[in-house]
Chains A and B, each alone.
Chain A
Amino acid sequence: MKLSPTTKIILILLIGALIIIPQIILPDAEFSGADDAAGTAITAIDENYVPWFESLFDPGDMEENLFHFQQLLGVGGLGICFFYLYKKSKKNEKADKSA
C-alpha cells in the first residue's frame, strides 16, 4: 500500500468538503447531539423511566474545555508517535550510510 501524494491531497480535500458542506447547508444546526435525542426518545417510549445513576463527576461548564483537552491528548500523542518513528527512520538511514 502506497498512496501517491496526489491521492493524499484528494483525500484531504474530501475530508475538508465533508466537514464544510454540512456547515454551509445547516449553519444553525443544533449541537445538542444525538445522545440527548436518544434520551428524549427513551422518555417518549417509557415516560416513567428515571435514570437510576448519576455521573460521579459533573464537569458542567468545563465540559467543552475537557473535550478540547481530550482532542489535545489524542492529536499530541499522534504527533509524538510519528515524530518518534520519523527520528528512528532517520537514525537508521544514517547508520546504513556510514556502514
Chain B
Amino acid sequence: MKKAKRTMTIAAIVFFMVVLASQPVNAMHIMEGFLPIGWAIFWWVLSLPFIAFGLYQVGKIFKDKPEQKVLLAIATAFTFALSAFKLPSVTGSSSHMTGIGLGAIVLGPFATVVVGTIALLFQALLLAHGGLTTLGANAFSMAIVGSFVAFGIYKGLSKINVPKALTVFLAAFIADLATYVTTSVQLGLAFPDPVGGLIASVIKFLSIFAITQIPLAIIEGILTVLVVNAIYQYKEKGIISNETLTDN
C-alpha cells in the first residue's frame, strides 16, 4: 500500500538523518561507582518492585496478547536507538535521549520499566556507560519516572480535548526532561553542597543535565509523534491491537 510505504520511507529518512548527524556519547546516566553505597542500595530497593511487576506484565503480554509482542519490540528498539544518539547542545556539553515515552504510550508504564532497564543494563555492561551499582538509580530516573510521567501526561491530556499529536509530543518531551531532573535530584541527595546544601547541589547538577537536554527532548518528542502515528495507522487497519492508543 502506498501510504504504508510512504510512512516507512519517512521513518527511514528520519533515522538515517539522526544517525548521520550524531556521534556516540558519554552522557546522561550516573557513572559506575559514583553513588555512595548507601544510596546505590536505596535506589536499587526502590526500583526492584517496579522491575518485578514490569516483568510480570511483560510475561502477560507474551502469554495473553502475543499480537502485542511487535509493540514490545518496537519500544525496545526505539529506546536502544535513541539512547545511543547524542547531539551537541547549546551549552556545549552533550547528552542523549531516552526513547521511553513511546513505550509508556503503547505498552503502559510497567512493561516500559523493563524495556528501559534492558537498555540501561546493555549500556552498563557493554559500554561502561552508567553502571551496575548505579543501575537502580538510573532505572528509577529513566525507566520508572520517565515512563510514569509519560503515561500520566498521555492519559491526562487524552481526557481533555488536546490534539493527539500534541499529547504524544508533550508526554515524550516532559518524560525526557523529568528523567534528567530526577538524575539531578539523585546526585544532589548523595552529594549535598557543603555551603548551599541539597538545593544548591541539585541546581548545580540540573544546570549540567536539564538545560543541555531541552533541544534533545524536543527531538525525542517529534520522533515519538512520528512513530506513534505510524503505529496508529496499523491499529486502524486492524494489524495491531492496542488499548492505550486511542483516537480523539
Could you list which residues of chain A lie within 8 angstroms of chain B, going by C-beta atoms?
1-3, 5, 7-9, 11-12, 14-16, 18-20, 22-23, 25-26, 29-39, 41-42, 45-46, 49, 51-59, 63-64, 66-68, 70-71, 73-86, 88-90, 92-93
**Measured CA separation A15–B133 after assembly (Å):** 35
Interface code B71-106, partner A: CB below 8 Å = 1, 0 otherwise? 001101111111111111110111100000000000
Residue of A whose beta carbon sits closest to that of B204 = A41
Is B19 a contact of A71 with CB atoms below 8 Å?
Answer: yes
Is A54 a contact of B33 with CB atoms below 8 Å?
Answer: yes
Could you list which residues of chain B lie within 8 angstroms of chain A, going by C-beta atoms?
1, 4-8, 10-15, 17-19, 21-34, 36-37, 70, 73-74, 76-90, 92-95, 122-129, 131-133, 164-165, 168, 187, 191-194, 201, 204-205, 208-209, 212, 215, 218-219, 222-223, 225-230, 232-234, 237-240, 247-248
**Measured CA separation A16–B219 after assembly (Å):** 9
Residue of A whose beta carbon sits closest to that of B90 = A22
**Measured CA separation A16–B25 after assembly (Å):** 19
A interface SS class: helix
Is B191 a contact of A49 with CB atoms below 8 Å?
Answer: yes
Is A37 a contact of B81 with CB atoms below 8 Å?
Answer: no
Pick the residue among A5, A20, A23, A52 that contacts B6 (CB under 8 A). Answer: A5
**Measured CA separation A29–B21 after assembly (Å):** 14
Is A39 a contact of B31 with CB atoms below 8 Å?
Answer: yes
